[in-house]
Amino acid sequence: MREEIDMDKRDIRSRAAKTFMDNFEKQLNLALQENQTEENNSEPANIHKKSKENEPDEQFNLSDLEEAIADIDEYIQTNKKHPPSSTSE
């Protein structure tokens, strides 16, 4: 039962991390597009309007991301101490 709860938490955190990464990618792409636009356009006011219009609807939750990162760190540390026995050599 404890394992199921841990798996549920990991699944939730994994989805939160994926949502964060998806939103991060969108924001990064927007920033890159804005930089290209800025180089081609001398009116910075237009750039700020564009970024406001293209903001993602769903904002990521920082605490969920931090928990997901903590889970990843814990997983890595656990595997360093106890490597999986089903590895093929």
Residue 14 has pLDDT above 80, yes or no: yes
Q: What is the pTM of this model?
A: 0.38
Q: What is the pLDDT of residues 40-88, one digit of tens each?
A: 765 555 555 555 555 555 666 788 888 889 899 888 888 887 766 655 5
What average pLDDT does this structure show over 15-39?
85
Element (H, E) at 67: helix 62-81
Domains in the chain: boundaries: 26-70
The closest alpha carbon to 20, from 64, 55, 54, 51, belongs to 64
